[in-house]
Each structure stands twice: as C-alpha cells, then as structure tokens.
Amino acid sequence: MSDKVLMKGNEAIAEAAIRAGCRHYFGYPITPQTEVAAYMAKRMPKIGGVFLQAESEIAAINMVYGVAGTGRRVMTSSSSPGVSLKQEGISYIAGSDLPCLIVNVQRGGPGLGGIQPSQSDYFQATKGGGHGDYHLIVLAPSSVQEMADMTSKAFDLADKYRMPAMLLADGTIGQMMEPVKLAEPVEHPFVEKEWAVTGTKMQREHHIVNSLYLVPEQLEKKNFERYERYKKVEENEVIYESFMMDDAEYCVVAFGIAARVSKNAVVAARKEGIKVGLIRPVTLWPFPKKVLSETAEKVKGFLSVELSMGQMIEDVKLATSCRRPVGLCRRSGGMIPSPDEVLEAIKNMQRGEE
C-alpha cells in the first residue's frame, strides 16, 4: 500500500480505476461527478489509455459496450439523469453478458431534480434499471477510501461473473475530501478472453456479441443461465458492515452517506442507554437478506434511513418477511438528515415499541 493522500471521492474513483487496469473511459459532463472525467482526461493520455468525451451519455455507454466486447476493462461515470440515459446500453451489456463498471454519483430527482446528494436511484440500480430480466452488482461506498477500494472490487466482480457492476455513490462522497490509501497498480496485461471480439485471425469461428434471440426458447434459456450466475453472486458476494449489533434491540439499516450519519446517531443513542446497532449493506445487490432475516429474530424493530422517499425499506421488509416493524427516516431532494434527526427517529421507534 502506498502512503495516504488527501483526495476527493470522485478523483479516488478515477485513480483507483486506473490502478485496477482500466484504460478506457467514456463520459459526458454532469454535476456532481465531473471530476471523474476531468481526472481521466488528464491521466489517460499520459499512460496510453483512452479518454473520450462522448456526445451524450447514450453514446458513452455504447462506447463502453464496444470496449467491453473486446474484453478490456472499461468504465463510464455519470449522475442520476445521465444514468437514466445509459439504461438502454446497460440492458444490452447485461444481455450480452459483458463486464464493465458504471459509476452513479447520485443527485436528487426525479427529472432534472437538483445537484445535491441523494440515494433515490436505489430502485433503478438494484432492480435492473433498463428493460428485461437482469441485475447489476451494486456497491455502495460510504467513504472516499471505499470509493477507491470498491472501484477495484467492482471491476474484479464484473470480470468474475461477466456482468456489469455499478458503484452507487452520492454527491456527498463524490465531492468530499478524505485521506485515502490507494492500492498499488495492478499490471493488467490484456488477456484475450475466450468470448471477446478481437478478430478471428483466421484461426477460430467468429465470435458474436449479441443480446438478440428471436427464438423464445433460446432467450428463456439464456435468461435462466444468467440467473444461475446471479444465484452464485447472491451466495458468494454479499458484503455488509455490522456496527454495535451484538446486544442490539433495534437495528438501523442504512448505506452510503446515510450510514455514516446513522453511525453517529447510534453512538448517541447508546449514550442514552438505547440498545441500537447498525447494519450497513455494502452490496445493495446482492442485498444482505440473510443477516437481516437472522436479525429479525433478535431485535424488536428496524429503521431504514435513506436519502430518498423510502426505497431500500422495501428490501428490508422483504428480507425480514415483515416479522418486525420497519420504520423510515427519510430526507429527499438533496437533503441529508442530521444525526439528531436519526436519533429522534430511533427514539420514536423505541417509543412505538414500548
């Protein structure tokens, strides 16, 4: 590991991607993630990589689709309205079973919304987003350090399971500066993937990158095969953080920046004698269903803390089969709850229970 450096979250993503062997970046300017593109524009030409400002988010994701087909590490980044535009391409990439990284530094919505932090693209990120039966691996960093670490992790998981991965961040983590320890660059020589389009060299049958299956039996078979792979992801790749949960009677569930605020509230509640802990989903898909289900046997209630009108709460209810009440502490439109607001919600949950 190299020394700690002070970096913006967005820049940490870019540097971590380069160190993870990504040499192709395509993007389109949008606040609050433009630093990723600016960083790439500076660095890529110096290291023989490709930075290209696309004419639109749609073009950018289809450029990603092209590079992904050649088997090389490739990424794009954007923020909520831009990520909506990318959904067509993401669906095609998922349907063609190709790996890539999409970064969403979320801002408030719907529509043009605002430019302040939000988590209201949770549904879009975790339920598919585009048309058809598919999932993305979705990682939710809550610090600049995790912006870097999860970028690298996302590339590895995407390659391992031949599926697109998304880093679902928000404007706060994208914009704030924190010390970060960057991983040593991996030497990532181009390994020809057995499925990639690189030219037949007249030595093999042609490869086809495609998501079209006009025979329904074939398309269904493809989708079942894909979901077999998804099952493995769900079995093997769930990540979550458990905080002060050992003796907890109440469980706060929050991810990303909402989890950091919630941690402060949990510590404050503990000082007041409330036995509360936090489970922070780090992978939003696969969602940490098992630990939440087990926790439902131990706690009196859950509180979902979100920078949205309440989206992850549905997954908490599903994971716990509604065996315990699930409260909601929410801010929307670019607002972030204060630790006091979350503490108040924790107290409300406790009062409701008693």
Partner 1 sequence: MVVFEKPKSLTNAEFHYCPGCTHGIIHRLVAEAIDTLGIEGITIGVAPVGCAVMAYNYFACDMVEAAHGRAPAMATGIKRSLPDNIVFTYQGDGDLASIGMAETVHAATRNENITVIFVNNAIYGMTGGQMAPTSLPGQVTQTSPYGRDVTVAGYPVKVAELLSSLDGPEFIARVAVNNVKNVRTAKATIQKAFENQINKQGFSLVEVISSCPTNWGMTPENALRWVDEKMIPYYPLGVFKDKSAAKEEC
Interface with partner 1, residue 188, by CB under 8 A: no
Q: Note whether 209 binds partner 1 by CB under 8 A.
A: yes
What gap in Å lies between CA 83 and CA 284, rounded to an integer? 17
Compute the distance between CA of residue 117 and CA of residue 236 in angstroms, rounded to an integer.
31
Q: Shortest CA distance to 169 belongs to which of 101, 221, 237?
A: 101
Q: How many CB atoms lie within 10 A of CB 199?
A: 11
- Paired with 276 in beta bridges are 250
Name which of residues 243 to 272 contact partner 1 (CB under 8 A).
none
Segment interacting with partner 1 (CB under 8 A) among 5-13, 59-67, 241-249, 332-340? 59-67
198 binding partner 1? (CB under 8 A): yes
Minimum distance from residue 212 beta carbon to partner 1 (Å): 6
Q: How many other CB atoms sit within 10 Å of the CB of residue 143?
A: 20
Say if CB 105 and CB 11 are below 8 A apart.
no
Rounded Cα distance between 38 and 256, Å, is 24
Alpha-carbon Rg for the chain in angstroms: 21
The amino acid that residue 147 corresponds to is M
Q: Does 85 bind partner 1 (CB under 8 A)?
A: no
Contact with partner 1 (CB under 8 A): which of 202, 215, 228, 247?
202
The one among 47, 194, 203, 246 contacting partner 1 by CB under 8 A: 203
Task: Specify whether the CB–CB gap between 80 and 121 falls below 8 A.
Answer: yes
Shortest distance in whole angstroms from residue 14 CB to partner 1? 18
Query: Can you tell me which of 9, 89, 109, 129 binds partner 1, judged by CB under 8 A?
Result: 89
Q: Which of 5, 38, 41, 50 binds partner 1 (CB under 8 A)?
A: 50
Interface residue with partner 1, options 41, 85, 197, 267 (CB under 8 A): 197
Residues binding partner 1 (CB under 8 A): 24, 26, 50, 52, 54-56, 58-60, 62-70, 72, 74, 88-89, 92, 96, 197-203, 206-212
